[in-house]
Amino acid sequence: MTAARIKLKQALLLLLDTEDFEQLSISQICKEAGVHRSTFYAHYDNQYQLLEDTRVYMIDLFLSEFENYQKTIEAPKEKDSLMDSYYLVPYLQFIKDHQKLYKIYIKNPLDFQHKERDDIHFIAQFIPRYQEREGRADEREMRYRYNFYTAGIRQMIEDWVLDDCQDEVEDLVAIIQDIIF
């Protein structure tokens, strides 16, 4: 990853603190990043590509900081569920901390690769955990269960973000756990 791409992503994040994405121009982003417009176009065709790249950057940032978020939470005796507070609280707190970025994704769902991301999560996280916990191997059944699970969680989070994350993270975790368990 080039220094220019990092600067552009960081500039976008800084600008989103005070501006709406729809109001931002490529010139503003370049000025904030300290790069020329030609540098922007050497890496991206448009602002939405930068936004998607910034989403990936934020996920990488989250994964690198996940342990720091978890340090504030008492670790469960058994960490076998992604619905444990140990996992949910950091995840939801990160979303709350970066809710402006998440609002953009919610308002523009067709511009981003949710299905591709979900498939990666399904293969890497859900299938192994589900097979281990439930002893089931029927991939169709697992996909149905996963789709049900992700649609519900995603809708709750979308509602919460669009409501400016007014409810406490712990309240959302309690609702999710009450439904799942």
Domain boundaries, the chain: 1-71, 75-181
Q: CA-to-CA distance for 176 and 181, rounded, in angstroms?
A: 8
Q: Tell me the chain's radius of gyration from C-alpha atoms.
A: 18
Q: Is 164 left (phi over 0), alpha (psi -120 to 50) or beta?
A: left
Given this model, what pLDDT does residue 77 score? 61
DSSP assignment, residue 125? I
Residue 169: the pLDDT is: 93
The pTM score is: 0.71
Residue 79 Cα distances to 45, 76, 115, angstroms: 42, 6, 27
CATH of domain 1-71: 1.10.357.10
**pLDDT given at position 106:** 80
Q: What are phi and psi of 44, to 5 degrees?
A: -140, 150
Separation of alpha carbons 51 and 3, rounded Å:
17
Taking a C-beta distance cutoff of 8 angstroms, is the pair 78, 87 a contact? no
- Give CA–CA dist 85/73, Å, rounded: 8
One pLDDT digit (tens) per residue for the chain, 181 residues:
689 999 999 999 889 888 888 899 999 999 999 999 999 999 999 998 998 888 888 878 877 777 777 777 766 666 556 567 777 888 888 889 888 888 887 876 655 555 565 666 556 666 676 666 666 667 788 778 778 877 888 889 999 999 999 999 999 989 988 877 6
pLDDT of residue 118: 61
pLDDT for position 18: 85
Report the pLDDT value the prediction gives residue 130, as an integer from 0 to 100: 67
How high is the pLDDT of residue 142? 76
